[in-house]
């Protein structure tokens, strides 16, 4: 059996990886099924990635992440230890997931589509259309944060705070202890904000998501602490992930004018186009796990507690499953779906509503701005994520 120390090593800090992570990962996957890096064991093979995402012997890597960040004792660490991110497979995770999975199921998420459409229409109408504008500031950040405000019966003016704080707290995934202070401060604000929203919603019930969560709590499916944690968790993961994914989709589709015009005339293809962008340039380049026991992966001995990463970016560019993987195509029917939202008990609970948000953004932009021009776009890639750090465009009708 192979030891981890004997595996070939990947360096994610090279300029070549930063510029072209997906072809680099795809090339490495042709040589190695399993490798190692400074962060842990790296799974590159498509079949192994799919398998490990749902493997019951692999759990969440979040507790280790809190240790890496040296998160201090206090209310923020208590929140993290009580939220769903901290729990591995088993009854507690199932209990925490079940109510919110039901509320944000495909059918549950679909009931928010009209709200999303209204928010998208309002946000887009406010963006200047006579000059080059920062679409991250004007569209990508405001839309998911406004959706969260709608869920929480919060004033829409809170959206800027939600967006800023979501970006800050998601810095946990940098694994950089130098950022721990800012992360803790941002979370502390979220804790207070959640308490305020719950108190207001209890005074004035409605048909909003927060009232639904309160009803679930009152029915005994969640504790009061669980309720608070979900209100925070929905904000924590909301804007940052959704904003970067919306921005990536805009860039990849608007940079192909023929595709942009095709989606304008055939809006039924928008979901297909979004799925293809998530395959070609996924927001989640990898997903983290930790061995819950001593195990073996492809002949490699993985001791209990070892961080293991499924490199989705490599799997999505596997030409055995996706012919001509570097080519954007609307003709991939019959090929496997993307792994951008994970799978199994660790799948992204908000995947359906995020997809609705992106669909409505693209539907609105292609109809209102068929001649939209990309002026400047730049990606930043980490081993975990695709980030859009620049997106400027002229919204030409």
Instruction: Please state, in angstroms and rounded to a whole number, the distance separating the CA atoms of residues 224 and 387.
Output: 34
Phi, psi angle pair for 40, to nearest 5° = 155, -155
Per-residue model confidence as pLDDT tens digits over 80-94? 999 888 887 778 888
Tokens describing residue 179: 């950022």
Which residues have C-beta within 8 Å of that of residue 110, sequence separation ≥ 6?
A: 352, 356
Residues in the chain with pLDDT < 50?
none
Q: Residue 384: which CATH number?
A: 1.10.630.10
2 pairs with which residues across the strands?
Answer: 300
Residue 175 to residue 140: CA distance in whole angstroms: 25
Whole-angstrom distance, CA of residue 60 vs CA of residue 290 = 6
pLDDT at 108: 96
Contact (CB, 8 A) for 365 and 339: no
pLDDT of res. 254: 98
Q: Are 159 and 142 in contact (CB under 8 A)?
A: yes
Q: Answer whether 37's CB lies under 8 Å from 288's CB.
A: no
Q: Kindly report the number of other CB atoms within 10 A of residue 323's CB atom.
A: 10
**What's the total number of domains in the chain?**
1
| Confidence at residue 338, expressed as pLDDT on a 0 to 100 scale | 94
What sign results for the dihedral spanned by CA atoms 49, 55, 57, 59? positive
Question: Which residues form the domain of 386?
Answer: 4-394
**DSSP for residue 152:** T
SS3 394: strand
Per-residue pLDDT tens over the stretch 251-277: 999 999 999 999 999 999 999 999 999
């Amino acid at each position: 059996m192979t030891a981890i120390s004997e595996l070939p090593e990947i360096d994610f800090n090279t300029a070549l990886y930063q510029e072209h992570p997906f072809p680099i990962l795809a090339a490495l996957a042709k040589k190695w099924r399993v490798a190692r890096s400074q962060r842990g064991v790296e799974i590159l093979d498509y079949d192994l990635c799919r398998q490990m995402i749902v493997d019951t012997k692999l759990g969440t890597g979040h507790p280790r992440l809190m240790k890496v960040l040296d998160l201090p004792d206090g209310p923020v660490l208590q929140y993290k230890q009580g939220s769903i991110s901290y729990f591995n497979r088993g009854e507690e995770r199932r209990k925490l997931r079940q109510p919110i999975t039901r509320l944000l199921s495909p059918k549950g998420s679909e009931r928010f589509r009209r709200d999303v459409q209204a928010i998208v229409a309002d946000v887009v109408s406010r963006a200047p259309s006579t000059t080059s504008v920062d679409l991250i500031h004007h569209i990508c950040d405001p839309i998911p944060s406004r959706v969260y405000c709608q869920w929480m019966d919060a004033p829409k003016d809170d959206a800027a705070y939600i967006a800023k704080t979501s970006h800050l707290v998601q810095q946990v995934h940098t694994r950089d202890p130098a950022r721990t202070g800012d992360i803790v401060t941002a979370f502390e604000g979220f804790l207070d904000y959640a308490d305020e929203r719950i108190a207001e919603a209890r005074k004035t019930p409605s048909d909003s998501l927060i009232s639904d969560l309160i009803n679930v709590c009152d029915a005994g499916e969640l504790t009061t602490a669980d309720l608070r944690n979900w209100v925070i968790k929905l904000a924590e993961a909301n804007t940052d992930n959704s904003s970067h994914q919306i921005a990536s989709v805009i860039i990849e589709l608007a940079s192909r004018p023929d595709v942009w015009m095709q989606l304008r005339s055939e809006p039924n293809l928008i979901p297909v186009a979004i799925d293809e962008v998530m395959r070609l340039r996924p927001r989640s380049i990898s997903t983290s796990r930790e061995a819950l026991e001593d195990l073996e992966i492809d002949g490699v001995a993985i001791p209990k507690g070892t961080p293991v990463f499924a490199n989705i970016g490599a799997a999505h560019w596997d030409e055995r499953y996706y012919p001509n993987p570097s080519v954007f195509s609307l003709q991939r029917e019959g090929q496997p779906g993307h792994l951008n939202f994970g799978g199994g008990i660790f799948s992204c609970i908000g995947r359906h509503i995020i997809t609705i948000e992106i669909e409505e953004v693209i539907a609105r932009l292609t109809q209102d701005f068929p001649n939209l021009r990309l002026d400047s776009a730049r990606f930043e890639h980490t081993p975990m994520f695709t980030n859009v750090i620049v997106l400027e465009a002229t919204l030409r009708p």
